[in-house]
Chains A and B, each alone.
Chain A
Amino acid sequence: MAANPPQRKRIISDQEAENISRVEELAYEIKVSEVMTSELISFSPEIKMYEVLEVFRQKRISGAPIVSPLGDLIGIISMEDLIRCLIDKDLDSAINKYMTTNLFTILPTDPVIEASKKFVSTNFGRLPVVDKDQKLVGMITKGDINRGLLRALETDYQEEEIRKYRASHLFEDIESDRTSLILRYQIQQGDFDIGGQASSNIKRALIRLGASKQIARRCGIAIYEAEMNLIIHTTEGGVLRVEIEPHQISIDAYDYGPGIKDVGLAMKPGYSTASDAVREMGFGAGMGLVNISRCVDQMKLESVWGKGSRLKMRLFLDSEHKNKESENQKS
């Protein structure tokens, strides 16, 4: 066991600790074996209490298991036991007079939440970890659990941060006159179960590339509506193509049929040719294109009946560019 860490000014109470949710999840995921101390200082049952005192002092520990020559766990000796012994001025007696034999143990395969529960219910500071043959394999303290959880949280956080960092530097690290990243997704007609998967991946990619939440949300909604259109209305599906540049995001949703008979009518709020089955799924109310137009800065729908449709959308990422474009459109 490591030396006691220096006392911190603010100690998180059990009450507060209860409110940390990712920690709660991790407490179920992480096994006792991952956080326990397995290099143990243990005592044999014949040892005297003054020897215990010496070991506690030298190794700066506050408790240790007592193990038989065969490796079976017999008891636990803690600082409290040692204090009782000191009060009795009885340091010459054997360890078995003061050790605790009423033991609560835990399996190495248990999640750490089980250990936490036992700490709360027993008020003990440490638990021996024994395998299913009752052999001692380690010790676990509240400190071990906290350190394990913090380590796991850090790893979690770092993994996503590293992904974000790498992605967001993509445009800075590559030199060219104009750099863009193109994402393509094949969308199957009628495949409602995985409908939205492409949009979901695009939204995640944008966040990793450093897009703001608002931009990611606007893009996500527009692309999702376009993706559902490809699933609902095409004869054989279509393609989503997203081109990401530092100053803009251009999205193309195109298909090979059947095309739209009257583009003007299709753009009208409330107009839809969707089937009842599609309406039952919460779509096909003729709001898709209207929603898209609200979310993007530019939108253009071209279609030839019998051939196919192409919906072009564009979002500007720098406001300067956005203003210039809208002025151009006016003139």
Chain B
Amino acid sequence: MNLDELVKIVDGNVLTDLFNKNEVILGGCGADLMSDVLASIEPGAILLTGLCNPQVIRTAQMADVAAVVLVRGKIPPETTIDLANDEEIPLITSPFGMFELCGRLYKAGLPSLEKSVADQSDCGCE
């Protein structure tokens, strides 16, 4: 699934200037706890979250997240959008809730890129 298809599925609105519609999204991860994201997400995933602060973008950058989708139509503060532009991480807002979004994307064939707790002996980078 590429970013363009994903935006259509989530009925999303792109908030950043930079947006590579052909970027391939390998899977998804949904969480509001950034430490959970840092602990479980694998590179190249989309991050679904209800948090809007700049730390979401920092987390995304550290964990090699492909793009961030804000759930329930949230509009983040300017500082978050500015940081997303600076770090070139596409930021998308969607009117749907977390469960609905996970469902839509999973049904469309996007796999989970969240590692389970059992599978966390190391950070999964290799």
Binding site for B on A (CB under 8 A): 19, 21, 25, 192-193, 195-197, 199-200, 203, 213-215, 217-218, 220-221, 224-225, 228, 281-283, 285, 287-288, 290-291, 294-295
Q: In the complex, which range does the number of interface residues on chain B fall in?
A: 20 to 34
Residues of A contacting B123 in the complex (Cβ-Cβ under 8 angstroms): 217-218, 221, 291, 294-295
B58 touches A195 (CB 8 A): yes
A292 to B96, CA, bound (A): 33
Residues of A contacting B59 in the complex (Cβ-Cβ under 8 angstroms): 196, 224, 282
Residues of A contacting B35 in the complex (Cβ-Cβ under 8 angstroms): 225, 282-283, 285, 287-288, 291
A21-B20, A220-B62, A295-B123 known; A282-B87 Cβ under 8 A: no
A19 to B3, CA, bound (A): 13
A283 to B34, CA, bound (A): 6
Binding site for A on B (CB under 8 A): 18-23, 32-36, 38-39, 43, 49, 51, 53-56, 58-59, 61-64, 79, 87, 120-123, 125-126
A21-B21, A290-B39 known; A214-B125 Cβ under 8 A: yes
B51 touches A25 (CB 8 A): no
What is the number of contacts between chain A and chain B, taking CB atoms within 8 Å? Answer: 98
Residues of A contacting B34 in the complex (Cβ-Cβ under 8 angstroms): 281-283
Residues of A contacting B64 in the complex (Cβ-Cβ under 8 angstroms): 213, 217
26 A–B contact pairs at CB < 8 A? A21-B21, A192-B53, A192-B54, A192-B55, A195-B55, A196-B55, A199-B58, A200-B62, A203-B62, A213-B125, A217-B62, A218-B125, A221-B38, A221-B123, A224-B38, A225-B35, A225-B38, A281-B34, A281-B53, A282-B59, A283-B35, A285-B36, A287-B39, A291-B123, A294-B120, A294-B121
A21-B20, A193-B54, A214-B126 known; A291-B63 Cβ under 8 A: no
* Chain A residue with Cβ nearest B18: A25
Cβ-neighbour of B36 out of A21, A215, A225, A287 (below 8 A): A287
A141 to B17, CA, bound (A): 27
* Chain A residue with Cβ nearest B79: A193
- Most chain A CB atoms below 10 A, which of B36, B49, B53, B56: B53
* Chain B residue with Cβ nearest A195: B55
A213 to B51, CA, bound (A): 26
A224 to B55, CA, bound (A): 10
B20 to chain A, nearest CB (A): 4
- Most chain B CB atoms below 10 A, which of A218, A225, A282, A287: A282
A283 touches B55 (CB 8 A): yes
Residues of A contacting B63 in the complex (Cβ-Cβ under 8 angstroms): 217, 220-221
Residues of B contacting A282 in the complex (Cβ-Cβ under 8 angstroms): 32-35, 49, 51, 53, 55-56, 59
Interface of A is mostly: helix
Cβ-neighbour of A196 out of B19, B49, B62 (below 8 A): B62
A21 to chain B, nearest CB (A): 4
The 10 A-B pairs at the shortest CB distance, nearest first, are namely A196-B58, A287-B35, A282-B34, A214-B125, A220-B62, A21-B20, A295-B123, A224-B62, A294-B123, A282-B51
A285 touches B61 (CB 8 A): no
A221 to B81, CA, bound (A): 21
B115 to chain A, nearest CB (A): 10
A192 to B51, CA, bound (A): 14
Residues of A contacting B87 in the complex (Cβ-Cβ under 8 angstroms): 200
A265 to B119, CA, bound (A): 23
A282 to B63, CA, bound (A): 15
Residues of A contacting B43 in the complex (Cβ-Cβ under 8 angstroms): 213, 217
B95 to chain A, nearest CB (A): 22
Residues of B contacting A295 in the complex (Cβ-Cβ under 8 angstroms): 122-123, 125
Residues of B contacting A197 in the complex (Cβ-Cβ under 8 angstroms): 58
* Chain B residue with Cβ nearest A197: B58
A200 to B56, CA, bound (A): 13
* Chain A residue with Cβ nearest B53: A281
Residues of B contacting A225 in the complex (Cβ-Cβ under 8 angstroms): 35, 38
* Chain B residue with Cβ nearest A19: B22
A214 to B124, CA, bound (A): 9
A217 to B55, CA, bound (A): 16
